[in-house]
Structure 1
Amino acid sequence: MSAAKHLMKRVLMMLAGYLVAILVGLIAVVAIYAALSSLPNAPAYFDLMGVSPIAAFVVPPLGMFIYFLTIVVTAPQTLIFALIAEFFSLRNAMLHMVFGAAAAAGGFFLIWPGAAEDVDLERWADIGIIAAAGLVAGLVYWLIAGRDAGFRRSLSER
């Protein structure tokens, strides 16, 4: 396989992994909120977050807007993390999961810039939930693109 062909394959795998990981991460956010809403003394808006995907299915443009917004707010940091993993051939699943959590939390701070100064404990719970969904998304990215990370080809492929 030529070097250009290998590079194109890696870029397409990164893109496919990212798009699928975003979708799985959004599903993980909903699943986490739904699970947490059943806990005693859970904030009332957890219930709303657990059933909000119904609105995305009933009104598909709303679902596409949420998906697109998530892509926009997580793309810069995810691109940086993916390029670091590719340049240094980092293939560790835990590292990709940490990258996913950091990218998701970074996207949350882009949407809500004042979240760090907010003393409300619910806001910190939201950040934790988003980061947990980022862990899941990072694992999915690793399964699709991260296991074979590296722009350089191995000796067996040359």
Structure 2
Amino acid sequence: MAPERILKGYLCACLVAAATVVLGVVIQFFDLPEIIDISINYIAAHLVAYLLLFLITLIVAVLPASLVIIAGEVFSIRNVWYYMAPAAAVGFWVTWVIDGVQYSAFDTGVFVAAGALAGLMYWYVAGRDAARGSWPRF
């Protein structure tokens, strides 16, 4: 059924976006000597950061994602670029709106990549089957 497919795709996309941002943070600070000594506190801190980013992603992306998903379902758009481009644009938009700080090119690239990968994941889980399945009739 379509609503379950859409919800599953949205949740998977938000998980991928949050994981990409956490991975970008880890890559950015990978050369620090403290990172070499991986402890349970280090792992727990990244897990908490990942869960918080997942929740923030769910909240921030719900409106733009809803507009793209509804249009994709109504017009039966199954093109991967249709889902990746707006998601990457939302990733870029987040770097300008969240706190007004000028981010580095690497940070902006991480957010854009997170959006693009989230769009790709949504397409893989749900967008390939846009407008297939039945909607509940009221």
User: Equivalents in 1 of 2:129, 2:111: separation in Å?
Assistant: 26
Q: 1:14 aligns with which of 6, 15, 31?
A: 6
Q: In the comparison of the two structures, how many residue pairs are matched?
A: 127
> Paired residue for 1:70, among 43, 57, 65?
57
Q: 1:139 aligns with which of 120, 130, 135?
A: 120
Max Rg structure: 1
When you count helix as a share of all residues, which structure comes out higher? 1
Q: State, as a whole percentage, how many aligned pairs show the same letter.
A: 29
Greater RCO (CA < 8 Å, at least 6 residues apart) = 2
Q: Structure 1: any 5+ residue segments left out of the alignment?
A: 1-8, 154-158
Kept after mapping to 1: 8 A contact 2:18/2:50: no
**CA–CA distance in 2 between the matches of 1:110 and 1:83?**
24
Q: CA deviation at 1:53?
A: 6.2
Q: Which residue of 1 aligns with 2:39?
A: none
Counterpart of 2:77? 90
List gaps (5 residues or longer) in structure 2.
Answer: 36-41
User: How far apart, in 2, do the equivalents of 1:81 and 1:110 lie?
Assistant: 20
Instruction: State the partner residue of 1:150.
Output: 131
Determine if contact 1:74/1:104 at 8 Å carries over to the other structure. no
8 A Cα contact 1:25 1:134, kept in partner: yes
- Output the CA distance in 2 between the equivalents of 1:20 and 1:71: 10
Q: Which aligned segments of 4 or more residues in structure 1 are displaced greater than 4 angstroms? A: 36-39
Instruction: Map 1:22-33 to 2 at 5 A.
Output: 22-33=14-25
Q: CA deviation at 1:66?
A: 2.7
Distance 2:93 2:15 in 1: 17
* 1:84 CA drift (Å): 1.5
Could you say if the C-alpha distance between residues 35 and 140 of structure 1 is closer, same or farther in structure 2, counting changes exceeding 3 Å?
same
Q: TM-score by structure 1 length?
A: 0.66
